[in-house]
């Protein structure tokens, strides 16, 4: 919320453009960190943080649980770096900077999709984990049906927005008609696979929530691998704009594999003996 409030102040009032957005983000992150630390070390939590008496076996399990989202974020940043480098290379001196600006706007639109959806699927991971431990496969299946349904509704809505009305979103970031035209085209391409992407998020975060990182991490990396293949091959043959096709291609292929793995693995969960 602080980031949303500070962005227009630093970008438009102080006229700092992209630098202003970066400054607003850093200030918001620092404020969030300070708030969390104050809460954790304050008198409110019933369990206080102490140092010493570490259980390294338990620590390794916690680290394994957090490694999947860490790896996903790391790979997402590498994907953005690779995309921008290829746009600059194949766009040339005339269009390279315009394409990178358009890609940044398209990535901002994609964040509107992935951040809330990741909050839904990641936030419900504890529900799945608790019910797995309680031996309640019926609740796990019911929860995942609701999670998937909610994510599908959300991605369908934003797919329609990305395909039919991307211009109002683009106008928030630029008034340059050349950049706006490229950004609209980029958003329309990137949102082609949003609906099946919901399956990817539900399955990967579901496996993570149930402590099955041996499935969630490879499935996440598989989507990145599928993304990188067309990203590096297509622009050499079809031009710089074809780099954006890597997003929908990976968003279609990866959920298919996720679904197959999930349907095979969920038999174990369904076959659990219910505990009362």
Give the pLDDT of residue 23.
94
Give the pLDDT of residue 39.
92
Angle in degrees, 0-180, between the axes of helices 56-123 and 137-164, rounded to the nearest 10:
50
Distance, CA of 99 to CA of 240 (rounded, Å): 8
Question: What does the pLDDT profile of the chain (276 residues) look like in tens digits?
Answer: 898 889 889 888 888 887 888 899 999 999 999 999 999 999 888 888 888 888 888 888 888 778 878 888 899 889 999 999 999 999 988 889 999 999 999 999 999 999 899 999 988 888 998 888 888 888 999 999 999 999 999 999 999 999 999 999 999 888 899 999 999 999 999 999 999 999 999 999 999 888 888 898 899 999 999 999 999 999 999 999 999 999 999 999 999 999 999 998 887 776 665 555
Closest CA to 117 of 146, 152, 92, 144: 152
Give the pLDDT of residue 254.
97
Cβ contact 128:140 at 8 Å: yes
CB contact set of 75 (below 8 Å; sequence gap of 6+): 220, 221, 224
CB contact set of 177 (below 8 Å; sequence gap of 6+): none
Q: What angle do CA 218, 227, 21 make, to 5 degrees?
A: 105
Distance, CA of 112 to CA of 99 (rounded, Å): 20
- Secondary structure of 25-37 in the HEC alphabet? HHHHHHHHHHHHH
Distance, CA of 138 to CA of 260 (rounded, Å): 20
Closest CA to 247 of 90, 83, 6: 83
Give the pLDDT of residue 272.
60
Give the pLDDT of residue 276.
52
pTM of the model: 0.81
Coil, helix or strand at residue 169: helix
CB contact set of 219 (below 8 Å; sequence gap of 6+): 200, 203, 204, 207, 254, 257, 258, 261
């Amino acid at each position: 919320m602080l980031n949303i409030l500070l962005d227009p102040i630093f970008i438009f009032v102080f006229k700092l453009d992209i630098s202003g957005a970066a400054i607003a983000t850093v200030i918001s992150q620092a404020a969030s960190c300070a708030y969390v630390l104050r809460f954790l070390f304050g008198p409110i939590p019933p369990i206080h943080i102490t140092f010493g008496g570490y259980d390294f076996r338990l620590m390794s399990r916690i680290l394994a649980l957090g490694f999947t989202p860490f790896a996903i974020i790391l790979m997402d940043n590498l994907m953005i770096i690779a995309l921008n480098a290829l746009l600059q290379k194949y766009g040339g001196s005339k269009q390279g900077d315009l394409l990178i600006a358009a890609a940044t706007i398209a990535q901002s639109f994609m964040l509107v999709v992935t951040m809330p959806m990741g909050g839904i699927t990641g936030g419900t991971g504890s529900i799945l984990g608790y019910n797995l431990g309680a031996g309640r496969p019926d609740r796990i299946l019911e929860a995942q049906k609701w999670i998937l349904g909610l994510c599908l509704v959300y991605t369908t809505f934003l797919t329609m927005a990305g395909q039919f009305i991307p211009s109002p979103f683009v106008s928030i970031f630029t008034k340059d008609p050349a950049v706006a035209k490229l950004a609209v085209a980029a958003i329309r391409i990137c949102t082609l696979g949003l609906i099946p992407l919901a399956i990817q998020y539900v399955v990967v975060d579901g496996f993570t929530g149930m402590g099955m990182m041996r499935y969630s991490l490879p499935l996440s990396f598989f989507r990145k691998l599928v993304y990188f293949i067309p990203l590096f091959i297509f622009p050499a043959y079809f031009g710089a704009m074809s780099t954006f096709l890597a997003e929908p291609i990976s968003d279609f292929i990866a959920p298919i594999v996720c679904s197959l793995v999930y349907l095979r693995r969920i038999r174990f969960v369904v076959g659990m003996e219910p505990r009362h």
